């Protein structure tokens, strides 16, 4: 059974810092991995989708990497801003079963 773990559970950084969020998964036979952002009391917003054949994806200040063989992904946020404060969730898709989520990392960026 696929399990997804996100470390740390919570993170607080000063504005302007670069930071890395970690995601690990137990079954490397995945189809893709997706990073989401969730603001308090809101739904999930997709940030980046990495197909299993890809190593990384970039969008603005965000960069996600995928190392399928070791079961790891990282989300790198450059020059963090208070508006980046949210919970970040990673989820893996095996292609024939629905997404499995981690519990998320709650990020606070302090001005």
Residues in contact with another protein by the rule CB under 8 A: 4, 31-32, 34, 36, 41-46, 49, 89, 91, 93, 95-96, 98-99, 101-104
Dmax (CA) for the chain in angstroms is 43
* Nearer CB in complex with another protein: 71/102: 102
Q: Residue 88 class from Cβ within 10 Å (0-12 exposed, 13-18 middle, 19+ buried)? A: buried
Return the number of the residue (38 or 74) whose C-beta is nearest another protein: 38
CA distance 103 to 5: 7
**Nearer Cβ to another protein, position 46 or 108?**
46
Find the shortest distance in angstroms from Cβ 34 to another protein.
5
CA distance linking residue 68 with residue 23, whole number of Å = 11
């Amino acid at each position: 059974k696929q399990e997804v773990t996100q470390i740390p559970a919570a993170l607080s950084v000063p504005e302007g810092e670069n930071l890395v969020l970690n995601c690990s998964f137990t079954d490397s036979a995945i189809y893709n991995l997706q990073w989401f952002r969730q603001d308090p009391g809101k739904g999930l917003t997709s940030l980046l989708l990495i197909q299993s054949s890809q190593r990384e994806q970039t969008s603005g200040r965000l960069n996600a990497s995928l190392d399928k063989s070791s079961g790891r992904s990282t989300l790198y946020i450059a020059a963090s801003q208070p508006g980046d404060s949210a919970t970040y969730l990673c989820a893996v898709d095996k292609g024939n079963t629905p997404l499995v989520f981690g519990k998320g990392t709650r990020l606070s960026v302090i001005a």
